[in-house]
Structure 1
């Protein structure tokens, strides 16, 4: 997938400014940057929720030129604060992920139900299958929305703060699900606030500031003091994790 000069402005203010990057296929790319850097807006542009300039190419096709239903067959988007369906159970909500794959007048097939069941189990939401969505906590809803996206059987998965509202174990479980997906060839792009979480889990990172790409590439090349300090306005020390050698970052406030 290639993001080709994606841009978006509101009332003359540039929010996303000519983003041109290529998230590796079958890998987790982390979108990093301070609040207001444009991470969520960029994901919404890629998903076709926002309409700006540029293109999103996948195997020679511009996904933004496709109809919404066609795009949903290859790309799934889990928003940070996805709407909670009223009067629907968890199982019914996850089954909605199969809608793009059926005919307009067709009901759900056994294959659709099997996909939804797999998604429930994979996302760790099967224990809540009969609960109403409105009874779930924020973290539980996040897992259900992930399951719904998995049910779409996407080739590209976009996640906006997928570990938000989750405790440490749930964060690790979610990242384990993502690792299984990327191993199966799914391209995942996730907006993350936690730089150390990105350092531990991503193969590729894109650092944004004021809507522009400051740096993009492997974790070891981007998560460096000389790159991060001007963007976040902090001092940064990079250590090495004793088990896997990945970077561990320690931050201090910059003296005024």
Structure 2
């Protein structure tokens, strides 16, 4: 099965639009270094509530690292003026871990496990923040996990072991686990990695439906044209710094992209949607 289900009611996976307070993600002065090398250099980034924001940039620009720092997986560098990461008016990094796990979900690239987990068991891990430490899976937990699998088109794989899946299938299982977490803020690192074209488009439509129901979505994307077709807002990184941020029509233009990617960009208009379609040729 290659298509992601986009005909599900988003509220079935915990995204009731009238219960999401605040104005989205707002981070400032985010820096991170390793072995004396500065990977993120004072990054400011916003992701509006109820929108799909694309985090763009060449390989090595800091996209994955930024997502991990924003999600609290890695601590930002200290300094005279520390980093600020707020969501819906709250200090996101200052929240207790379980509380933060109820607010945000992070889908990373190529997550592997040696444990003999079934697909359903892997998705049920997303329910852990919502139950007491000693409680098992409830009927409600299993229903939410099933709906999440249906949303990503993986319900037929519920009893398969995760280790037996293809890369694209595993990617969709990770997305289902994040949906089962019922986040208000969803961060994804290359969510279309390993997916074929139809599944890429369907995955982005799932994110658009979630955003329409009030979830704040921030996704690192490699494909600029896919970002132009599906994102409301984009942030462009280069060398660990923000080069530009804003509407796709303002950021995804030759004057901005050519110096960052070292190419010549032509921007066309999609004949049906009017959104930008990007083509690239080598410089010189």
d(CA) in 1 for partners of 2:96, 2:113: 24
Pairwise CA distance, 1:85: 5.2
d(CA) in 2 for partners of 1:102, 1:85: 25
Pairwise CA distance, 1:70: 1.4
RMSD (Å) for aligned C-alpha atoms: 0.9
Aligned to 1:56: 85
- Equivalent residues in 2 for 1:7-156 (5 A)? 7-53=31-77, 54-84=83-113, 86-156=115-185
Given the alignment, which residue of 203, 206, 211 partners 1:174? 203
d(CA) in 2 for partners of 1:48, 1:242: 41
Q: Deviations over 1:219-254 (max 9, x none)?
A: 000001000000001011111111111011110100
* Equivalent pair of 1:228/1:236 in contact (CA under 8 Å): yes
d(CA) in 2 for partners of 1:109, 1:4: 39
Given the alignment, which residue of 164, 174, 199 partners 2:193? 164
d(CA) in 1 for partners of 2:144, 2:32: 35
Q: Deviations over 1:28-67 (max 9, x none)?
A: 1111111100000000111111111412101221111122
TM-score, structure 1 as length reference: 0.97
* Equivalent pair of 1:85/1:133 in contact (CA under 8 Å): no
Aligned to 2:19: none
d(CA) in 2 for partners of 1:245, 1:216: 20
For structure 1, list consecutive stretches of 5 or more residues without a partner in the other structure.
none
State yes or no: 1:254 paired with 2:283: yes
SS, match of residue 93 in structure 2:
helix
d(CA) in 2 for partners of 1:72, 1:179: 22
Q: Deviations over 1:103-128 (max 9, x none)?
A: 11122222111111111101111010
TM-score, structure 2 as length reference: 0.88
Given the alignment, which residue of 212, 235, 250 partners 1:221? 250
d(CA) in 2 for partners of 1:160, 1:59: 22
Aligned to 1:3: 27
Aligned to 2:261: 232
SS, match of residue 47 in structure 2:
coil
User: Comparing 148-157 with 172-181, which one deviates more in the overlay?
Assistant: 172-181
For structure 2, list consecutive stretches of 5 or more residues without a partner in the other structure.
1-24, 78-82
d(CA) in 1 for partners of 2:95, 2:162: 31
Aligned to 2:10: none
Pairwise CA distance, 1:184: 0.5
* Equivalent pair of 1:115/1:151 in contact (CA under 8 Å): yes
d(CA) in 2 for partners of 1:130, 1:235: 48
Pairwise CA distance, 1:160: 0.4
d(CA) in 1 for partners of 2:281, 2:228: 18
d(CA) in 2 for partners of 1:82, 1:157: 17
